[in-house]
Amino acid sequence: MKPVNEMRLKIESRSVNEAFARATVAAFAAQLDPNIEEISDIRTAVSEAVTNCIVHAYAETVGQIYIWSGIYENGVIRIKIRDCGCGIENVKQAMEPLFTTLGGERAGLGFAVMESFCDKVRVRSKIGVGTVVTLEKRIKGRENADA
Amino acid sequence: MAVKISVTPLRLTIAVSGEIDHHNAAVLRLEADEAIQSSLCKTVRIDFGEVTFMDSSGIGFVMGRYRIVSSYGGAVEVVNLSERLYSMMKLAGLDRLVKLSKKEKGKEKI
Ligand SMILES: Nc1ncnc2c1ncn2[C@@H]1O[C@H](COP(=O)(O)OP(=O)(O)OP(=O)(O)O)[C@@H](O)[C@H]1O
Ligand SMILES: [Mg+2]
């Protein structure tokens, strides 16, 4: 299926860009007329994926984060967040709640949060090459705004 | 993001407003830990009533403060949570470690 509208964004992996990235994707999603809950869901999921690029993929270095988003006729938004960082050795394990390779202040809940706020989360990764996280969510918007 | 700290003999309150993400969490952590270490209060209350956005960095923040405060025998409570923040805290199993309480109805921001 071809998206009816697309956007691309390339940002440096600096933590100050986390707020910029989630706000930009949320502004793009606004054309689907989401309700406040759905906007928060998207902002939160994007924030998780972008933060992972900054703290894990590029760790002590600064690299590029590529964000693509597409909107489909059936009210679905798809968001891809890609990095060319260190990659994930075991994706299944990484996605388990509370699993983290950093510890300290990281809860290991980023993927769990993405999964609870999106309909689908897909992760493809290769060590030394990078990671692509694809988020998908159908926006119901005003349909059930009062629900 | 802004932090307001207040201390009484019985309780240290850390009131956070604005957005909590990985970027802001660093400053938040610094200010909170300074207050915790200088007061060593038995009860540390984290007030999220004015928080307008939070991702898993906020969960990590609460977990981290729980670790520090419980290490000297104190307890952490998180108050004024929106439904959304409350469900994120529960997702992390934080309800088993700290006392969570929701915001009064009608005062929700997110
Ligand atoms: N883009 C990425 N590049 C490399 N490793 C990653 C990436 N995203 C996630 N990971 C790995 O997957 C683990 C789990 O990620 P997740 O977001 O669930 O938890 P976290 O980032 O460790 O903690 P939290 O998100 O709660 O702060 C990370 O600890 C890291 O090892
Ligand atoms: Mg994460």
% of chain B residues with pLDDT over 90: 93
Decide which of A116 and B105 is more confident. Answer: A116
Distance from CA of A47 to the nearest CA of B (A): 7
Contact A134, A80 (CB under 8 A): yes
Provide the 8-state DSSP code for A93: H
What amino acid occupies position B64?
A: G
pLDDT-based confidence at residue A67 (cuts at 50, 70, 90): very high
Instruction: Please give the Cα distance from B92 to B49 (Å, whole number).
Output: 19
What's the mean pLDDT when you consider all of chain A?
95
pLDDT-based confidence at residue A140 (cuts at 50, 70, 90): very high
Residue A105: its pLDDT value, please? 86
Instruction: Please give the Cα distance from A44 to B87 (Å, whole number).
Output: 13
Query: CA B46 from chain center: how many Å?
Result: 3
- What does the pLDDT look like over B1-36, one tens digit per residue? 999 999 999 999 999 999 999 999 999 999 999 999
From B61, which residue of chain A is nearest by alpha-carbon distance? Answer: A105
ipTM of the complex as predicted: 0.93
CATH number at residue A94: 3.30.565.10
User: What value does the mean pLDDT take over residues B45-59?
Assistant: 98
Q: Flag whether pLDDT at B106 surpasses 70.
A: no
What amino acid occupies position A132?
A: V
What amino acid occupies position A1?
A: M
Q: What is the largest CA-CA distance in chain B?
A: 37
User: What value does the mean pLDDT take over residues A1-8?
Assistant: 96
Catalytic residue among A22, A38, A43, A52: A52
* Domain encompassing residue A36: 5-139
Residue A141: its pLDDT value, please? 86
Q: Flag whether pLDDT at A109 surpasses 70.
A: yes
Q: Is A93 buried (19+), middle (13-18) or exposed (0-12) by CB count in 10 A? A: exposed
Distance from CA of A118 to the nearest CA of B (A): 14
A147 occurs within a structural domain: no
Cβ of residue B63 closer than 8 Å to a chain A Cβ: yes
Q: What token pair was written down for B30?
A: 């610094």
Residues of chain B in contact with residue A44, where contact means CB-CB under 8 angstroms, are 53-55
Residue B107: its pLDDT value, please? 60
pLDDT-based confidence at residue A147 (cuts at 50, 70, 90): very low
Q: Taking an 8 Å Cβ-Cβ cutoff, which residues of chain A contact chain B?
A: 15-16, 18-19, 22, 36-37, 40, 43-44, 47-48, 51, 54-55, 97-98, 104-107, 109-110, 112-113, 116
Residue B108: its pLDDT value, please? 60
The tally of domains found in chain A comes to 1
**B21 closest CB neighbour out of A47, A97, A107:** A47
Q: Flag whether pLDDT at B59 surpasses 50.
A: yes
Provide the 8-state DSSP code for A58: S
User: What value does the mean pLDDT take over residues A106-135?
Assistant: 97
A82 occurs within a structural domain: yes
Residue A60 bears catalytic tag: no
* Number of residues that this document lists for chain A: 147
> Which pTM was predicted?
0.95
CB contact under 8 A, A113 and B88: yes
User: What value does the mean pLDDT take over residues A68-77?
Assistant: 97
A131 lines ligand 1 (CB under 6 A): yes
If we measure between CA atoms, which residue out of A133, A117, A127 comes closest to residue A52? A133
% of chain A residues with pLDDT over 70: 97
Q: Flag whether pLDDT at A3 surpasses 60.
A: yes
Residue A46: its pLDDT value, please? 98
Contact A19, B21 (CB under 8 A): yes
pLDDT-based confidence at residue A1 (cuts at 50, 70, 90): confident
Residues of chain B in contact with residue A106, where contact means CB-CB under 8 angstroms, are 56, 60
Question: What domains, with CATH codes, occur in chain B?
Answer: 2-104 (3.30.750.24)
Residue A78 bears catalytic tag: no
Residue A105 bears catalytic tag: no
| Ligand 1 mutation pick, A55, A56, A95, A111, max ligand atoms within 8 A of CB | A56
| CA angle in degrees (0–180, nearest 5) for A88-A92-A96 | 105
Output B82-86 pairs: Cβ under 8 A, ≥24 positions apart.
B82/B48, B82/B51, B82/B108, B82/B109, B82/B110, B83/B108, B84/A37, B84/A40, B84/B110, B85/B48, B85/B51, B85/B54, B85/B58, B85/B110
